[in-house]
Structure 1
Amino acid sequence: MLDQLPSPTRSLDDLAREEKSFTFSHFTCEHAWVIGNILRNALRTADAPAIIHISLAAHQTLFHAPSMPGLMPDDETWVTRKRATVLRWGHSTWYMACKFGGSERSFAEHYGLAAEEKGRYTCEGGGYPVFVKGVEGVVGAIVVAGLEGEQAHGVVVKAVEEYKELRNDFRSPMRSMTMK
């Protein structure tokens, strides 16, 4: 299944447009739950162990789950690094990878990252920004760690596209309840 994903573009303009095209009217734990489960089901179907992490910029975790057994402890570190990159620079980590040709060294040098800062960020694909209409900057991040960067980016984009198709018909069971 992951092999069937189209290769993501490497055009920075196209990637920036793609990121902004997924601007939400609002973003809650319900959105994260649905997107997280779309990702988890896709990764399980592909027999791909990965960690899925969705959080707000204020360090509030909305969804965090492995797709299946087979992960390494370092995958948690990659989640943290990808999330930090998305929140600091406001772009997907795939965008950053394309901007710097996948070179962590060029990335760190360009931003003048000190030696102790280099390990906090990455330009490995798999981190994706969450934008909300009317809110300045990134409000959260969707991260997949445990896959190659290109695949991680592709599966996140596919999940957000699937969510976008579903969201008009999605009604929370809590919203349909009447309060007595």
Structure 2
Amino acid sequence: MLSSLPAPTTDLTLLAAEEKSFTFAHFTCEHAWIIGNILRNALRTASASATIHISLCSTPPQILFHAPSLPGQMPDNEVWVRRKRETVLRWGHSSWYMQCKFKGDEEAFARKYGLGTEERGKYSIHGGGFPVFVKGVEGVVGVIVVSGLTQEQDHGVVVKAVEEYRELREGFKSPGVGRSMTIK
């Protein structure tokens, strides 16, 4: 799967449209569990070791899914997950969008937002953090993060997983819930 991922666009207008195209009708732990497992299975199939994290925007984060795809992750991956998550929550865009906006120039990023030495370490403009939007709710509701691959692959695998989720769930009704689990 990873070798078949197309290179993500660097066009900010297209990236913003991509983010909004995955607006959910609602987002629950069931959504996170399924998306997390789609990601984990795809990464395992590709023999790729990465950390997968899905959480709501609460403080502290309400973690809905968190797992390595395979052995080989280091504690540093947890730091990258946290930094990508914080970037998505603060700016309301994927961390790949922020990477493209600043063309990878972390100094320009830090200057633009007045980030001091200590605050710089709180954020990352490397791909892999992706916003969760819900119809009728202002702003980011949650974040999906993959960390451990190249930043292009981290972003691409999240986009592919959400696309796959949308295809799987279109029109599905959850047993015992009685309401549609579709995303638009």
The TM-score by the shorter chain falls in which range? over 0.9
* 2: CA distance, partners of 1:171 / 1:133: 18
Partner Cα distance (2:106, 2:147) in 1: 17
* Post-superposition offset of 1:95: 0.2
How far is 1:169 from its partner?
A: 4.2
Secondary structure, counterpart of 2:143 in structure 1: strand
In structure 2, the partner of 1:113 is: 115
- 1: CA distance between counterparts of 2:40 and 2:107? 32
Moved over 6 A (4+): none
**1:62 maps to 2:64:** yes
Looking at structure 2, the residues matched to 151 and 6 of structure 1 have their Cα atoms a distance apart, in angstroms, of 9
Residue ranges of structure 2 left out of the alignment (5+ in a row): 179-184
CA distance in 1, matches of 2:107, 2:29: 36
Please state which structure has a larger fraction of its residues in helix: 1
- CA deviation after TM superposition for structure 1 residue 104, in Å: 1.6
Report the equivalent of 1:83: 85
Amino acid at match of 1:13: T
Secondary structure of the 2:158 match is helix
For 2:170 and 2:153, the matched residues in 1 are separated by: 27
SS in 2 for 1:62: strand
**CA–CA distance in structure 2, aligned partners of residues 73 and 92 of structure 1:** 22
How do residues 9-158 of structure 1 correspond to structure 2 at under 5 angstroms? 9-58=9-58, 59-158=61-160
SS, match of residue 23 in structure 1: coil
Partner SS state of residue 27, structure 1: coil
Partner residue of 2:173 out of 164, 171, 175: 171
**How many Å apart are 1:101 and its aligned residue?**
0.6
- What are the Cα deviations for residues 88-127 of structure 1, in whole angstroms up to 9, with x where unaligned? 0000000000001112222111111011100000100000
Secondary structure class of the residue paired with 1:122: coil
Gaps of 5+ in 1: none
TM-score, normalised via structure 2 length? 0.93
CA drift of 1:163 comes to 0.5
Distance 1:99 1:33 in 2: 31
Secondary structure of the residue aligned to 2:55 is strand
CA distances 1:118-143 after superposition (whole Å, capped 9, x unpaired)? 00001000000000000000001000
Closer, same or farther: CA 67–89 of 1 in aligned 2, 3 Å: same
Match of 2:182 in 1: none
Q: Distance in 1 between matches of 2:19 and 2:45?
A: 25
Q: What's the CA shift for 1:17?
A: 0.3
- Cα deviation 1:30-76 (Å, max 9, x = unaligned): 00000000000000011000000000001100000000101111000
